[in-house]
Amino acid sequence: MNKSQIEEAIGEAQRGIVQYLEIMELLHKSDVSLDRDFQRKYNAFYRVRQRTEEWYESYYSYLEKNKNSSITFANTIDYLNASLGRYEPSFSSKLAATINPNKPVWDRHVLNNTGHTAPPYYSPTRVEDAKIIYSSIEEWYITFLQSDTGRLCVNTFNEKVFRKDQITDLKKVDFILWKIRD
């Protein structure tokens, strides 16, 4: 990853950065389990689509109940699996990262850019495997943020984004990884 690629990724992420900041501002201003405006913005940003009403109710109630706690990816994936019978590593990570912006998001581009592979959907141990992979992604971020390339990502983001002080260094790298495609 070079400075030009990083700058291009940041440029492509501008709309998402604005959406993210709006979501983070709204998170603690209302009951997100009832706030349809928050939910609409969250759904648009994280591309939450075509879920049942039960899913949305369960998801946003869990987010509301835990938005002031130290919820983890493991807690969240277990909750969604138990309450909805669904394997949701991506949406589990997005909920956990919304509550704690120092946590990474799990998506296919981040997995690819961090050298990880999702467990097969059909695996009977996929939930436990996902927890191990997520911990490895967290370790990857710790190492990456201390690297020359990690510092280049953060410094370049800080040069290009006006409200940079409202975004964690991990989230800055997240935005870049979301946009860098192999």
Under the banding of pLDDT at 50, 70 and 90, the label for residue 42 is very high
pLDDT attached to residue 178: 86
Average pLDDT over residues 121-141: 96
| Contact status, residue 1 vs residue 153, Cβ threshold 8 Å | yes
Who contacts 51 (Cβ-Cβ below 8 Å, separation ≥6)?
59
Average pLDDT over residues 98-121: 93
pLDDT attached to residue 58: 95
Q: Is 164 exposed, middle or buried (0-12, 13-18, 19+ CB in 10 A)?
A: middle
pLDDT attached to residue 126: 96
pLDDT attached to residue 182: 56
Render pLDDT for 66-108 as a digit per residue (tens, 0 to 9). 999 989 999 999 999 999 999 999 999 999 999 999 999 998 8
Please say if the pLDDT value at position 148 is more than 90. yes
Please say if the pLDDT value at position 150 is more than 90. yes
**Number of Cβ within a 10 Å radius of residue 19:** 16
| Contact status, residue 105 vs residue 97, Cβ threshold 8 Å | yes
Average pLDDT over residues 120-147: 96
Domain parsing of the chain, residue ranges: 3-179
Q: What is the pTM of this model?
A: 0.91
Residue type, 4: S
Average pLDDT over residues 142-162: 96
Token pair, residue 158, equals 């800080």
pLDDT attached to residue 179: 87
Among residues 31, 6, 16, which one has the least CA distance to residue 105? 16
As a 3-state breakdown, the chain gives helix, strand, coil percent values, each rounded to 5, of 70, 0, 30
| Contact status, residue 116 vs residue 136, Cβ threshold 8 Å | yes
Please say if the pLDDT value at position 166 is more than 60. yes
